Amino acid sequence: MNSIKNIDSFGHVRGESLFVDDIIVQQNTLYGLVFDSPKAHGTIKKLDIAKAEAIEGVIKIFTYKDIPGENQIGGIIPDEPLLADNKVHFVGQPVAFIVATSDSIAKKARAIIEIEIEELPIITEAKEAAAKKQFINKPRTFNLGNTSKAFGDCDYVFEDEVFTNGQEHLYLETQGAYAIPMENGSIKVTSSTQGPTQVQKAIAKVLGIGMHHIEVDVIRLGGGFGGKEDQATPWATLAALATYLLKKPVKLILNRHDDLRMTGKRHPYESNFKIGLSKELKIIAFEADFYQNAGAAADLSPAVAERTLFHATNSYFVKNVKTTVYSCKTNLPPNTAFRGFGGPQGMFVIEAAIAKAAHEIGVTAKEIQEANLIQENDELPYGQIMTQAEAVNSWQSTIKKFNYKKLASEVETFNNKNKDFKKGIALMPICFGISFTNTPMNHARALVHIYQDGTVGISTGAVEMGQSVNTKMLQIAAQIFAIHPDKIKLETTNTTRVANTSPSAASSTADLNGKALLKACSAILERLKIVAAKELKVNEKELSLQNEWVYINSKKSSLSWKALIANAMLERIALSEKSHYVTPIIHFDKTTEKGHPFAYHVYGTAIIITTVDCTRGTYVFDSIKIVHDYGKSMNQGIDLGQVEGALAQGVGWMTMEEIAYDKKGNLLSNALSTYKIPDIFSIAEDIEVIPLETDGNEMAILKSKAVGEPPLMYGIGAYFAIQNAIKAYNPNYKLKFHAPLTPEKVLMSLYEN
Amino acid sequence: MIEFILNNKHIKTAEHNGITLLDFIRDNQQLKGTKIGCREGDCGACTVLIGTLQENKIVNYQSITSCISPLGNAQGKHIVTVDGTNLQDKLTTAQQAMTDNYATQCGFCTPGFVVSLTGLALKNTFISYGDGLNAISGNICRCTGYKSIEKATKNVIDSLQKKDTSNPIKWLVENNYIPKYFATIPERLTAIISENKSTKNSNYVAGGTDLYVRNADKLAEENINLLTANNELTGISFYKDNCAIGALATVTDLMYNNAMQVYFPEIQSFLKLVSSEQIRNMATLAGNFVNASPIGDMTILFLALNCNITIKNADDKLRTIALKDFYTSYKIYDLQKNEIIVNIAFEVPDSSHHFNFEKVSKRTHLDIASVNSAINIKTSGNTIENVHLAVGGVAPIPKYLHKTSAFLVNKEVNIEVLKEANLVMQKEIAPISDVRGSSDYKRLLARQLFFAHFTKLFPKKISLTELVA
């Protein structure tokens, strides 16, 4: 592939790229450590920090009493204190913040802080919370047609329960921030956050000062995946609080165990479904109740819950749909955004329903999937009419390009020949809406400076976290100005240069910021053309830029890019531009739950083939073959990396990544030795991704569709591929929908009676 | 004082020998390319190379995770971080391969991969594609899904096929794998004289791969007695029918020992299931024994070899005990405060022996077993003459199955016997439910792995279908 490489590659491979923990610290920098609740629910009866504070080198231990502003960091709902006051709601909840001259001194202090908690009843599961009416907010319901009536017309009706476990983000770089005092009571915070504005806002609120006093700077993230959208905030705020009160630089980097214990994860869901089909395998009606395990505070749970409803019918058109989601309040760390944002949990349920129906009716899931794909102008349960729908196109391309028939018959032949190993094959179509479902968040800004030597500096609200958004931004500017990439620098993401930003999330970062950047660059280009037209004495419409030179009707002129910029300076033309972009068309009415919330959808279909070792209950993936809808990819190398990376996370979520809490709310999978994410040997040997042939979509940046989240959901197919292999071995196996499908569950299923 | 070479720099430091190499690199030397990911050797972001000068004046480089490696173990070695692989103004071949294949996204794990791949290039043996994957088996990436990294690795291996083995360092320098200064390292290491300070301190640390996961903060402040400085405890030797292994032999030492490969043709595939290459390069055999984890892979394997361990006390007095008699209860074993294991010995198998090792974990590689098992069967014709069976994860100790083993003696290898033996085994084990699996699962898995030994060793006689029918 010849597309431009990640512009950070040079620094990355040499170990020269800077992350928060790598910044050379100022003299007298202090080190923070969080003392957290050892109990999942209770009233704090005593908190003794005196002995810990007396240790030499401990500067101060902060509690909620030290907070000058509001003790509140909740985003959507103000229900989350920065430091616990008299109550604790989950194990890992920050109670005090130790600041010392070194990390090891802070650790010694933490070990001798005494806390007494009078325990209150603990809830760790969603349905348990629902039974006790513990909710974050009101349930939401999406409705289309009339399900109760429609079930009466169905030839088949099936119901079942479904569980999907949470998922740890496991960004390789743990959470962290470094705050330094500036003059006049201002603070600069370098944070590993996807949402710099969110951090700025929370700090201002907690300190009780204006946002203009807080500068948040983000160099880059060592992975985010949603885990640093809202949950980078407490750590940056704690560091800023200490800096504000002590007038000293304070660094807080969570160690891995603290990070795992204190931060939220993908939401576990307990769900019920009811599916009704006709003899022709048309899904006539579908109902689902989703019980989302939100944890102890709202965080982003209401928004995540909403997206579950948006994707509850995945790539299928169903005439009668009723889905309800309950955000259930439990005594776990507040669960949060994770690539897919509730979509995967929704999609898994309808795929489970299809698997169940197929099993009971005695057909393949493929036959049901195929009979119900979204067609042009279908209306989805939330009212959006689907245009440029690619569900059928991507499905058929997959079947044809990878010769599905041959693959399926090979699986069958293998299974007929082999007793101790069984193969399973599954298809997984996806349809994922692009835009923040909260319409007001769909905006972005970009600031472009052309310096007088012809080099360019770009600031946007986009946070670089490995998705190579900065590379895409650079491509846009390089294309419009027709200059060499070396002449362009992507600046850090900084709230003083680009303010009031939406977080880098919802797969929309490149679209929103890219469109804003495109506007800014185009505006400067127009001004430059006027300068050039005057200089060259031609009409500006005849001018274009190519290879750092001005062209007149595709003939090279005497004017170079560098000379043009020098001229513009003399002509006193503005060489800077700030542009603002808002996504057009989209709207959504939360009272009727209808509207047009998405700019467009991303489609694709995967074939997953697995081999299960029926002696040991282990499995490998032979191949995963995908036709993916990139639109017109602006960078095939980078976009392929997004597909492969998301796929690995999706497969991990479905197979080996198992979060475990005990009944007391203690995280058992609390280290990398007990929480396993895919390693190089667990990836399918053969992964092939072919771009879907389409015209692209104008709503996407340069027609190149968003790619961050959608491919994660191909991983759902892994569950059903393994399940099909289990079915091939054990005729007594009773279908279960309980993810992840670990080797333990596989072995127990292979040998159940 | 600890003296070693860090990249191209001579280090002489009075820092405590128990601090981690990672902290020394990042905090003391301000080299920030080596990243902190987990501090338990499970992610590889902190991977560095440790070069040991061999008698032939060639430096043998191995990758290790610096987060669980005591600084003292760097004594007399060449430590290479990502910074030490960098060339002036251009990328190394490994770095270029990562870049060309889009194998770096967020960049946090990348330096670890680059160091591992550089270590691969520095290996003094023929390098296959499998070696390439092994080299990065301890490096976790959360962004890429690994396919791009696989391609980068393949590129590196392809180019390494042309390596001039007569003067590898020269070739590697000329082909942009490493900077020029590597050629000066053997001589510079020779100049460092490591004194063998004997101390009576019983705060022993060997590879550190377990102790540092549990106790790094404490060890950083204590005076520790680093056993790795003791050359007497290394080596693998054979005499007649016996094999003797120094207590400090690492898993890697066993895995690539030529004689071991003759006696155990499958040893590489068995030991590939043990942790990652980085950890195998550090973890010692005796360390695994005294860790006393009920699920210790090496312990289970050596229980089935029915090995003896020789123990030395502070007065240099020796005693020998069978490994199967070493453990008394959970993490309790027959070793006094001032004693260390010095030697492990077992009778090597001949052609009448059948040996197998099985392990199942949530993730096949770089994971702790739910259940593991090893068996060593001596047959005469169709009859089992002798058998040693060990199963991990099913008892408070690494379990040698006395009763099941005894039951099998003088029996024929057939379906009925094995089914019965499983019943004996099920009475002999008592797994508990924990994060590695429920007790029901572990019982079923123990049965399956027991059966797997026989389907694998006696494929013509024993079929799974009949066993589970």
CATH number, position A250: 3.90.1170.50
Closest CA to A260 of A676, A740, A642: A676
Q: Residue A474: what pLDDT?
A: 98
CB-nearest to B464 from A172, A420, A744 is: A420
Q: Are residues A448 and A433 in the same domain?
A: no
Over residues B48-61, mean pLDDT = 96
Q: Are residues A414 and A466 in the same domain?
A: no
In angstroms and rounded to an integer, the radius of gyration of the C-alpha atoms of chain B is 23
Contact list in A for residue B146 (CB cut-off 8 A) is: 644, 648, 678-680, 683
CB-nearest to A645 from B38, B143, B213 is: B143
Over residues B372-382, mean pLDDT = 96
Q: Are residues A256 and A353 in the same domain?
A: no
> Hey, are the CB atoms on A16 and B33 less than 8 Å from each other?
yes
In angstroms and rounded to an integer, the radius of gyration of the C-alpha atoms of chain A is 27
Q: Which CATH architecture has domain B231-467?
A: 2-Layer Sandwich (3.30)
Asked if pLDDT for residue B197 goes beyond 80, the answer is no
8 Å CB contact between A176 and A254: yes
In chain B, whose CA is at the least distance from the CA of A174? B37
Question: Would A153 be classed as within a structural domain?
Answer: no
3-state secondary structure (DSSP) of residue B310? strand
**Global confidence as pTM:** 0.98
Query: In whole angstroms, what is the distance from residue A39 CA to residue A90 CA?
Result: 6
Q: Are residues A319 and A385 in the same domain?
A: yes
Q: What distance in Å separates residue A186's CA from the closest CA in chain B?
A: 28
Q: What distance in Å separates residue A730's CA from the closest CA in chain B?
A: 12
Does residue A738 sit at the B interface (CB-CB below 8 Å)? Answer: no
Asked if pLDDT for residue B232 goes beyond 90, the answer is no
Q: Residue A1: what pLDDT?
A: 63
Which run of H or E residues covers position B194?
none
Task: Give every CB contact of residue A649 below 8 A, 6+ residues apart in sequence.
Answer: A167, A225, A339, A677, A678, A712, A715, B142, B145
Residue for token digits 């909840």?
Answer: A93
Angle between helices A233-246 and A196-207 (to 10 degrees): 40
CB-nearest to A172 from B102, B109, B146 is: B109
Question: Would A391 be classed as within a structural domain?
Answer: yes
Q: Are residues A216 and A67 in the same domain?
A: yes
Q: What distance in Å separates residue B27's CA from the closest CA in chain A?
A: 10
Strand-pair partners of A288: A273, A323
8 Å CB contact between B7 and B24: no
Q: From the CB of residue B88, how many other CB atoms can be counted at a distance below 10 Å? A: 6
In chain B, whose CA is at the least distance from the CA of A651? B145
CA quadruple A388, A389, A393, A394: dihedral sign? positive
* CA atoms within 13 A of residue A245's CA, in its CB half-sphere: 21
Task: Give every CB contact of residue A456 below 8 A, 6+ residues apart in sequence.
Answer: A448, A449, A450, A477, A481, A483, A487, A488, A489
Contact list in A for residue B150 (CB cut-off 8 A) is: 680, 683
Task: Give every CB contact of residue A386 below 8 A, 6+ residues apart in sequence.
Answer: A374, A375, A376, A377, A378, A379, A380, A601
Chain mean pLDDT for chain A: 98
Task: Give the end of a domain, one of A262, A282, A304.
Answer: A262
Query: In whole angstroms, what is the distance from residue A21 CA to residue A738 CA?
Result: 38
Report mean pLDDT in 10-residue bins for chain A, 753 residues: 89 98 97 98 98 98 98 96 98 98 98 98 98 98 98 98 98 98 97 98 98 98 98 98 98 98 98 98 98 98 98 98 98 98 98 98 98 98 97 98 98 98 98 98 98 98 98 98 98 98 98 98 98 97 97 96 98 98 97 98 98 98 98 97 98 98 98 97 97 94 97 98 98 97 98 96
Does residue A616 sit at the B interface (CB-CB below 8 Å)? Answer: yes
Q: Are residues A743 and A618 in the same domain?
A: yes
Q: From the CB of residue B314, how many other CB atoms can be counted at a distance below 10 Å? A: 12
Asked if pLDDT for residue B196 goes beyond 70, the answer is no
Contact list in B for residue A615 (CB cut-off 8 A) is: 448, 451-452, 455, 464
Question: Would A565 be classed as within a structural domain?
Answer: yes
Question: Would A144 be classed as within a structural domain?
Answer: no
Q: How far is CA B147 from the centre of its chain?
A: 25
Q: From the CB of residue A264, how many other CB atoms can be counted at a distance below 10 Å? A: 28
Total number of domains constituting chain A: 3
Q: What distance in Å separates residue B89's CA from the closest CA in chain A?
A: 10
Q: Which two tokens stand for residue B134?
A: 């092994």
Query: In whole angstroms, what is the distance from residue A393 CA to residue A692 CA?
Result: 8
Question: Would A616 be classed as within a structural domain?
Answer: yes
Q: Are residues A596 and A709 in the same domain?
A: yes
Q: Are residues A573 and A607 in the same domain?
A: no
Task: Give the end of a domain, one of A521, A549, A582.
Answer: A582
> Hey, are the CB atoms on A5 and B91 less than 8 Å from each other?
no
Question: Would A129 be classed as within a structural domain?
Answer: no
Asked if pLDDT for residue B194 goes beyond 90, the answer is no
CB-nearest to B364 from A12, A14, A682 is: A682
CATH of B2-190, one of 3.30.565.10, 3.40.50.2300, 3.10.20.30, 3.30.70.260: 3.10.20.30
Q: Are residues A211 and A89 in the same domain?
A: yes
**DSSP code of A268?**
P
Q: Of chain A residues 3-32, which have a CB less than 8 A from chain B? A: 5-6, 8-19, 21-22, 24
- pLDDT, tens digit (0-9, with 9 covering 90-100), for B309-364: 999 998 999 999 999 999 999 999 999 989 999 999 999 999 899 999 999 999 99
> Hey, are the CB atoms on B363 and A466 less than 8 Å from each other?
no
Query: In whole angstroms, what is the distance from residue B419 CA to residue A39 CA?
Result: 47
From-to residues of CATH 3.30.465.10 in chain B: 231-467
Query: In whole angstroms, what is the distance from residue B344 CA to residue B324 CA?
Result: 12
Over residues B125-134, mean pLDDT = 90
Query: In whole angstroms, what is the distance from residue A238 CA to residue B5 CA?
Result: 40
From-to residues of CATH 3.10.20.30 in chain B: 2-190
* Helix, strand and coil percent figures for chain B, each rounded to 5: 40, 20, 40
Closest CA to A310 of A285, A353, A341, A331: A341
Q: Are residues A492 and A379 in the same domain?
A: no
Question: Would A211 be classed as within a structural domain?
Answer: yes
Q: What distance in Å separates residue A185's CA from the closest CA in chain B?
A: 30
Q: Are residues A392 and A482 in the same domain?
A: no
Does residue A409 sit at the B interface (CB-CB below 8 Å)? Answer: no
CB-nearest to A676 from B82, B96, B367 is: B367
Report CA-CA distances (Å) from A218 to A193, A194, A490: 7, 8, 12
Q: Give helix then strand counts, H and E, for chain B.
A: 19, 18
Strand-pair partners of B9: B6
Asked whether the bond before A710 is cis by omega within 30 degrees of 0, the reply is no
Contact list in A for residue B36 (CB cut-off 8 A) is: 21, 174, 253
- pLDDT, tens digit (0-9, with 9 covering 90-100), for A230-272: 999 999 999 999 999 999 999 999 999 999 999 999 999 999 9
Q: What distance in Å separates residue A630's CA from the closest CA in chain B?
A: 17
Q: What distance in Å separates residue B379's CA from the closest CA in chain A?
A: 24
Strand-pair partners of A490: A458
Quote the percentage of chain B above a pLDDT of 70: 99
In chain A, whose CA is at the least distance from the CA of B220? A104
Q: Which two tokens stand for residue A725?
A: 């292999």
Q: Are residues A432 and A526 in the same domain?
A: no
Contact list in B for residue A614 (CB cut-off 8 A) is: 464
Over residues B269-281, mean pLDDT = 97
CB-nearest to A221 from B106, B137, B364 is: B106
> Hey, are the CB atoms on B444 and A747 less than 8 Å from each other?
yes
In chain A, whose CA is at the least distance from the CA of B365? A681
Burial of A480 (0-12, 13-18, 19+ CB in 10 A): middle
Asked if pLDDT for residue B392 goes beyond 70, the answer is yes
> Hey, are the CB atoms on B81 and A15 less than 8 Å from each other?
yes
Task: Give the end of a domain, one of A207, A234, A262.
Answer: A262
Over residues B408-414, mean pLDDT = 97
- Neighbour-count burial for B439-463, b at 16+ CB within 10 Å, e otherwise: eebbbbbbbbbbbbbbbbbbeeebb
Which run of H or E residues covers position B166?
none
Contact list in A for residue B105 (CB cut-off 8 A) is: 6, 466-468, 641, 645
Q: Which two tokens stand for residue B412?
A: 């024929």
**DSSP code of A316?**
B
Query: In whole angstroms, what is the distance from residue A442 CA to residue B28 CA?
Result: 46
> Hey, are the CB atoms on B360 and A617 less than 8 Å from each other?
yes
Q: Report the DSSP pairing between strands B204-205 and B225-226.
A: parallel
Query: In whole angstroms, what is the distance from residue A256 CA to residue A488 CA?
Result: 36
| Residues of A acting as catalytic residues | 709
> Hey, are the CB atoms on B105 and A468 less than 8 Å from each other?
yes
* CA atoms within 13 A of residue A40's CA, in its CB half-sphere: 21
Residue for token digits 């389907």?
Answer: B455
Where in the sequence is the domain holding A523, given as residue range(s)? Answer: 443-582
8 Å CB contact between A142 and A381: yes
Report CA-CA distances (Å) from A640 to A465, A691, B103, B125, B436: 16, 9, 11, 34, 34
Residue A612 belongs to a domain with what CATH number? Answer: 3.30.365.10
CB-nearest to B42 from A225, A672, A682 is: A672
Q: Residue B198: what pLDDT?
A: 61
Identify from B82, B147, B360, B361 which residue to disrupt to test chain A contact, counting A C-beta atoms within 10 A and taking the largest count: B147
Three-state helix/strand/coil letters over B385-439 = EEEEEEEECCCCCCEECHHHHHHHCCCECCHHHHHHHHHHHHHHCCCCCECCECH
End-to-end CA distance of chain A, in Å?
51
Over residues B374-398, mean pLDDT = 97
> Hey, are the CB atoms on A618 and B45 less than 8 Å from each other?
no
3-state secondary structure (DSSP) of residue B228? helix
Contact list in B for residue A169 (CB cut-off 8 A) is: 142
Q: Of chain A residues 620-639, which have a CB less than 8 A from chain B? A: 637-638
8 Å CB contact between B185 and B59: yes
